[in-house]
Amino acid sequence: MKREQWSSNLGFLLAAAGSAIGLGNLWKFPYIAGSNGGAVFLMLYLVLLILLGTPLLLAEMAVGRATRLNAIDACRAIHPRWGFVGAAGVVGAFVILSYYSVIGGWVLKYLFAYMQHSRLGDADAYYTGFVTRPLEPVLWHLLFAACCCGIVAFGVSKGIERISKIFLPVLLLTLIAIGGYALTLPGASQGLRFLFLPDFSQIHSFSDFASILVRAMGQVFFSLSIGMGTLITYGSYLDRKANLQKNAVLIPLFDLVIALLAGIAILPCVFSFGLEPSAGSGLLFRSLPYVFDHMRGGRWLAIGFFALVFLAAVTSAISLLESIAAFFIDHLHWNRIAAAGLSTLGFALIGVANSLSMGLWNSFTLFGMSLFDLMVFLSDNVLMPIGGFFLCILASRIWGFSSMLREISSNGQYAIRFPGALRWILRWLAPAMILVIFAVSLF
Ligand code: TRP
């Protein structure tokens, strides 16, 4: 059977950017930055984005394109004992989807709420009332999961590319509009200062610093979709002639711009309306409705915004689902529809528990975290760093750096920039950094 392929490098770039840009930028970045010291977090984030993001993106895409296989079989093709790296990624994709889809459901809920009402009233009360209800958030979560399942069942290039092509430019413009308005709010400058001026006086001990560092690393992995084999899968549909280096620079750049714009839209409102930046996973939903409710025509902007967040979330969620489904399709020879359907069933069930942990089951905690927060921690701070660590070793040592370079250069067609630095980062710096940060986080 001929393997599906992206229709062009632009198609891939948009699909990979679509995978990277998602709730990680719009929902997670502002709240994680908000609860971890703002600008100090941002500084560490930038450093790690450059040192870990680009090299790991390259390594994953190269493994995928060279082997043309799903994550598990790709790792196994490089070395028969290394299938576990891909397997960890597939498990991780389940974990991420189980909470991602819950938030995707919230986004749908807000989209429909603004279609029905011109304003939501007290945003804080509205949010708390909604997420603690037992049934309603679960239903929205299932609707979101069903949307992803439908697209993946359609197939990679048709379903995934088509969506990403349209919405990314529109998302950019909408964020600029919301951010522009947010900056005119009274007290907005406090939000900007929080995001861009490091305040080291808030860091009292090494453990404060270490915990910000761990969160920053987790966010880099999460936001770029690395460490879980997603880009192995996407890379496996990529044309041999596409320029991987260009993709590995452009994807983090787009991703960063969108995350910063989300921060610039959300944090000023947080300060202007007297919320706490450390309010946690509800930050987006508790802050922006204030803007929409106060602004003339805000309702229409809200509808546009939540529709775009929904699309961004869907294009990311399908990349996760695709990396699970690809394994069932390639390896077990299931048909696409069964693979998508059964994978969805799996994560959707865990998702129900995650959703309930916000309300009905909120007294149940493990390691001091709700089930939902535990899943976030497990994926960002355990599974992704582990996956990233082994991917560095797999690509640069087991496969061999020269084989990897040959793939990145498309067999010598493109000159490699900074091969020495890339080699040193993948063989030494990145694994060491991940290990140290991971070890520190355990204490
Ligand atoms: N990067 C996506 C976001 O920011 C989420 C995501 C998609 C992801 N695929 C992934 C995260 C693979 C980790 C691994 O919303």
Domains in the chain (CATH in brackets) are 9-442 (1.10.4160.10)
DSSP 3-state of 241:
coil
Q: What is the pLDDT of residues 131-148, one digit of tens each?
A: 989 899 999 999 999 999
DSSP 3-state of 415:
coil
67 touches 254 (CB < 8 A): no
Q: What is the pLDDT of residues 307-318, one digit of tens each?
A: 999 999 998 998
31 touches 194 (CB < 8 A): no
401 touches 426 (CB < 8 A): yes
Nearest of 387, 366, 386, 375 to residue 438 by alpha carbon: 386
248 touches 57 (CB < 8 A): yes
pLDDT of residue 240: 86
**Integer angstrom CA distances of residue 33 from 42, 176, 266, 269, 281:** 7, 19, 11, 15, 11
**Integer angstrom CA distances of residue 219 from 142, 312, 376:** 26, 17, 10
DSSP annotation string for 24-39: IIIIIHHHHHHHTTTH
pTM given for the model: 0.92
Distance 382 CA to ligand 1 centre (A): 15
52 touches 430 (CB < 8 A): yes
Distance 272 CA to ligand 1 centre (A): 30
pLDDT of residue 1: 46
Distance 378 CA to ligand 1 centre (A): 14
Q: For the chain, how many helices (H) and strands (E)?
A: 22, 2
Determine which residue's CA is closest to atom 6 belonging to ligand 1. 225
Round to whole Å and give the CA distance between 233 and 276: 39
| 400 Rama sector, left if φ>0, alpha if ψ -120 to 50, beta otherwise | left
Distance 427 CA to ligand 1 centre (A): 24
Round to whole Å and give the CA distance between 391 and 386: 9
Nearest of 123, 61, 154, 95 to residue 284 by alpha carbon: 123
- Residues 6 or more apart whose CB falls under 8 angstroms from that of 98 comprise 347, 348, 350, 351, 354, 375
Terminal-residue alpha carbon distance, the chain: 50
Q: What is the pLDDT of residues 203-258, one digit of tens each?
A: 888 888 888 998 999 999 999 999 888 899 888 888 888 889 999 999 999 999 99
pLDDT of residue 344: 97
Nearest of 18, 21, 39, 31 to residue 288 by alpha carbon: 31
Distance 231 CA to ligand 1 centre (A): 10
Low-confidence ranges of the chain (pLDDT < 70): 1-4, 7, 156-161
pLDDT of residue 14: 80
Q: Bridge-partner residues for 370, per DSSP?
A: 365
- Check pocket membership of 24 for ligand 1, CB cut-off 6 A: yes
**For a substitution probing ligand 1, which of 320, 376, 379 has the most ligand atoms within 8 Å of its CB?**
320
> What phi, psi does 137 have (nearest 5°)?
-60, -35
- Check pocket membership of 315 for ligand 1, CB cut-off 6 A: no
Q: Bridge-partner residues for 366, per DSSP?
A: 369
Round to whole Å and give the CA distance between 126 and 270: 16
Round to whole Å and give the CA distance between 93 and 221: 13
pLDDT of residue 2: 57
Round to whole Å and give the CA distance between 12 and 234: 8
- Check pocket membership of 323 for ligand 1, CB cut-off 6 A: no
**For a substitution probing ligand 1, which of 45, 90, 94, 96 has the most ligand atoms within 8 Å of its CB?**
96
- Residues 6 or more apart whose CB falls under 8 angstroms from that of 176 comprise 261
- Check pocket membership of 228 for ligand 1, CB cut-off 6 A: yes
